[in-house]
Structure 1
Amino acid sequence: MAQRHLDPTDPTAAIAPVTADALAAYLRAQATEFLRALRLHREAGAGAAGGTAETVDAARALRRSARRISGSLHTFRPLLDETWSEELRPELAWLSGTLALEHACQSRLTRLLRALNRLSPLTDAAPSPRTGTAAGTRADADAGSRAAGAMGVPPAPEPVGGARGRVGAGGTPCSKSLGEAPAAAAPGTARALPHAATPDRGRPAPPDRSHPAPADRGNLTVGAAKAGALLDRQLTLARTRAHSTALQALGSARFHAVADKVALLASDVPLAPAAHATDPRPLATAAEERLTDAVAALPLVTAGSPYNAQALVHGLSPDPTPHPQDAPWHQVRLLLRLHRYAGEALRGGEEPGLPVDPLLLAAGQALNLHREASEAAAAASSAARTPRIAPATAYALGVLHADQRHEVEAARFAFQQSWQKRTIGAG
């Protein structure tokens, strides 16, 4: 008779029967990884903001093990000592969140600069202004020169002739590139920039017939460069502050108390008295059911379309509060992580090479991209609300915001596709 093989992607079939010993082994393995990463982080040294590659890898390993321990303490609460679990779990969440801030600022800046580089028309040079033309505010001029190297755009003075002001990044329509200005500005949106003005106010310079591209296209190139410089200045400052906060956290008495508890966890897991007589698989199943219920509450029918126009309209709102549709998706991302960690815990950490469900992995990657794009859009919106920036800079940030909201919709569509295939396969 043929032998029946267990499905390697099914966490409940990896080890049978499953006991609390598997959870204890998993927690001990993650605690050991935490201590190893902490030792590597101390040996690599703190350094400047960003640190070395070894420091970044060690901080990532610290976050990874802290997330898994905290998630397992949350999912398998009835199997663990209640007092000890409730004390350690929020501390690990605090540590993981603190260490993630610096990496989030750096990845957000990289994402936004790449998007600006993709959207801006780098092939068209800005028209040369006549002698005596005003060049905008001094801050924007300095910002444009600093952005020339990072964005690959030659710095050029910004034309005047339009009313100065600022607009919310959500108030601009989305186009394929920053050079495609809207034909008619809707209320609350950024207006198309005028041509460079001559010293005689009110009389625009004659168009340059040698360049087929309109003058606004070159002006928006300058706006993209200054937008990149503004984002670089703001996010670099936020990253430096996050780095200082992380260093203070790693040297605080609060962190040393967490490290001591994790060191004890590496040798002894405080299980509940009835843990050995309790099957942990129903707890993992409950985590999966919470994930399924949260996904069922998502607007997957709307996300089934590659272009969710209704959500994009809400995304372009000038309201500075977080997007109301993003919070449920972020919650699903957290529940998906808890489901994955529960499957790892049932295997006891003894088979780290066991393959993970590829559809579940693809769904998690889509939700990660969703969070990155939504936070990048919020950063562009916040930068566009900076006082006294030039209209071209505000318009570039608005188009960047709309582009990132499109990325949010694309990530939702990708998650919907992965989850639908997984549901059909499970059925």
Structure 2
Amino acid sequence: MSARRATPRPLPAPLHPTDPAGAALQHHLHTAARAFLEQDRLVRHQVPGSVERLRGYARRIRDALRACAPLVEPRWGEQLVVELRWLERALTAEHDREVALARLLRVLDAVPDDPGSVRARHLLERRLSRELAEARVATLNALSSSRYRLLVDRLTLVLHELPGTSIAGRSCTEVLPALAAMAFRRLARAARRLDADHGAYEEWRHARVLARCGRCAAEVCADVFGEPARAFAGQLGRLVDVLGVHEDATKAAEAARAAANTPRIAPQTMFTLGFLYATERAAALNARREFRHAWSEATKKKWRRWLDETEPGGNAGSAHPWALVELKDCEPDDEL
């Protein structure tokens, strides 16, 4: 019997803080992998939105593997992360073009029609629609490849087994809050270096990767420790969303700039494209400032009080002997 047809192991009963930490991660990955496989079925039937949801669940699984790396057998986890990263990159080009086109056309919808805006709309639709069509072909090729089918088989096996380390056998109370605290400290170090006015785009994108890892670590904790951990994950999720707007606006601005480099376009069209570029750059800057407000809220002690109450020693910053095995760094080029 193939792995794809095997009967998945039932989800465990509600987790208890004394249960092994590996069981909590298995529970989280089991849920995400089932959702991924359901989207895979819908993709085959060309259900609208299924490709984007497939990409989202692939990202969730990868975030969980990175956030909880000390619990997973290194070689197995790293190989799965590499394959999930490949899939995300294959699906992201289509997503980026769709979002950029939608954002730019929304701005044009809010301005009066004149020769410049009409020509800019036609240019953007023609240019980005062509790129979008090319990206869709690449998406279909990826989803039809043997590499993708092997990835699906690997994710099916996640429903049955999670190769773990000795740390995975330790209790949730001993392990999971420390993982969440380490992920949050990494994000905090990155957030302190961000400059809303002059910071490079890559630094903000890196912060989003770390925020996603932190959110995922908190979500794994939420399956065990309940609402306090879930509320903390919600605060980190707000940071992820704000930084996602920053990424989308930045990419839309670059799409407008690229269109402005089209040879022999009329001055009115150039002016409109410059206006679009400036509008999206302003939206990106606004997202950076909104992040500062969201970060101020997320760092309030009330959201992390559960860490003090659950982590051994009563100190969210304390280190366990095994914690020298730190979370794997999420490098900026690790994410699109």
Structure 1 length-normalised TM: 0.62
Residue by residue over 1:158-187, the C-alpha shift from the partner in whole angstroms, topping out at 9 and shown as x without a partner, is xxxxxxxxxxxxxxxxxxxxxxxxxxxxxx
CA contact (8 A) 1:20 1:79 kept: yes
Change (3 A) 1:81 1:359: closer
Alignment of 1:165-180 (within 5 A): none
CA contact (8 A) 1:29 1:349 kept: no
Change (3 A) 1:377 1:417: same
Q: Which 5+ residue runs of structure 2 have no aligned equivalent?
A: 1-14, 305-336
1:406 corresponding residue in structure 2: 282
Alignment of 1:22-421 (within 5 A): 22-42=24-44, 44-45=45-46, 54-56=47-49, 58-118=50-110, 120=111, 122=112, 153=113, 221-277=114-170, 279-299=175-195, 303=196, 311=198, 325-348=200-223, 355-357=230-232, 358-421=234-297
Return the offset for 1:222.
0.7
CA contact (8 A) 2:215 2:237 kept: no
CA contact (8 A) 2:212 2:237 kept: no
Q: Structure 1 CA distance, aligned partners of 2:48 and 2:117? A: 33
Q: Structure 2 CA distance, aligned partners of 1:350 and 1:240? A: 45
Return the offset for 1:371.
0.7
Q: Structure 1 CA distance, aligned partners of 2:274 and 2:200? A: 19
Return the offset for 1:284.
2.5
The residue type equivalent to 1:16 in the other structure is P
The residue type equivalent to 2:54 in the other structure is L
Q: Structure 2 CA distance, aligned partners of 1:65 and 1:365? A: 16
Return the offset for 1:26.
1.1
Return the offset for 1:274.
4.5
Change (3 A) 1:106 1:350: farther
Q: Which has the higher helix share?
A: 2
Q: Which 5+ residue runs of structure 1 have no aligned equivalent?
A: 1-13, 46-53, 123-152, 154-220, 312-323
1:179 corresponding residue in structure 2: none
Q: Structure 1 CA distance, aligned partners of 2:299 and 2:224? A: 27
Return the offset for 1:273.
4.2
Q: Structure 1 CA distance, aligned partners of 2:274 and 2:288? A: 21
Q: Structure 2 CA distance, aligned partners of 1:104 and 1:340? A: 23
CA contact (8 A) 1:377 1:400 kept: yes
The residue type equivalent to 1:97 in the other structure is R
